[in-house]
Structure 1
């Protein structure tokens, strides 16, 4: 399922922590310099938000993943 069918969501806490969720579950919590760098970039457009959040969580296809062929 892609980002369109199962998008990331986020919220920013009062303490400046960035909480990233997907399907109602917390995927990652970012704080410190990483959160401070990412937060200003969010909110520009939903598409770019999805890409930024996917990259921050490591859930981003780079095109170099190996595909396993199963022989039955």
Structure 2
């Protein structure tokens, strides 16, 4: 895994998740909702998370992969106000 997480961001465990009663998986990054996974994709993710539950780094990697490339460096642009 050293080749995948070169900056050791996943050791800080930035991702968390919630499984709803309807079987959806809601993924959070720093307590902010990033994505909602539904249907068969959610079932597959839940199965993978349950098999890797003892390994926190592997769960973090699964959650990072499912969110895709959502951080591009421009997240703060919407918060600034240009005068």
TM-score (norm 1): 0.73
How many positions carry a matched residue from both structures? 60
- 5 Å-filtered alignment, 1:1-72, equals 2-5=9-12, 7-42=14-49, 43-59=53-69
Question: What is the root-mean-square deviation of aligned Cα atoms in Å?
Answer: 1.9
Contact 1:19-1:30 within 8 A present in 2 as well: yes
Q: Which structure has greater helix proportion?
A: 2
- Runs (5+) with no aligned partner, structure 1: 60-72
